[in-house]
Amino acid sequence: MPKILLFSTLREKLGIKELQLEVEGTVLDILREMEKIGYPVGDLVLKDGKVKRGFIILVNGKNIVHLEGLSTRVGVADKVAIFPPAGGG
């Protein structure tokens, strides 16, 4: 089961810091499965079928931008980390 790790404001908005899902497939499949079980991560992370500006999604420590984007495969032993845009000033 892939482990999903959420950080910063995502953690606060969704009320969880990590979960494991009974699904394999792509990063997009993972996000859709999270939606199905009640975590509206898609609305927060995606816009027009793409990752919103400033969000970073890592699969096993590698940015999906440098892999296959939302089509990056996620296996049962993988870790997916989702970071919202950094705030501050």
Confidence of residue 9 (pLDDT cuts 50, 70, 90): very high
pTM of the model: 0.93
Backbone phi and psi for residue 79, each to the nearest 5 degrees, phi listed first: -115, 130
Backbone phi and psi for residue 75, each to the nearest 5 degrees, phi listed first: -100, 180
* Dihedral sign computed on CA atoms, order 74, 60, 45, 8: positive
> Quick check: 19 pLDDT over 80?
yes
Which CA distances in Å does 87 have to 8, 10, 32, 48, 83? 10, 12, 26, 23, 11
CA 24 and chain centroid, separation: 13
What was the pLDDT predicted at 39?
Answer: 95
At the second CATH level, the architecture of 3-83 is: Roll (3.10)
Domains of the chain, residue spans: 3-83
What was the pLDDT predicted at 24?
Answer: 86
H or E element, residue 5:
strand 3-6
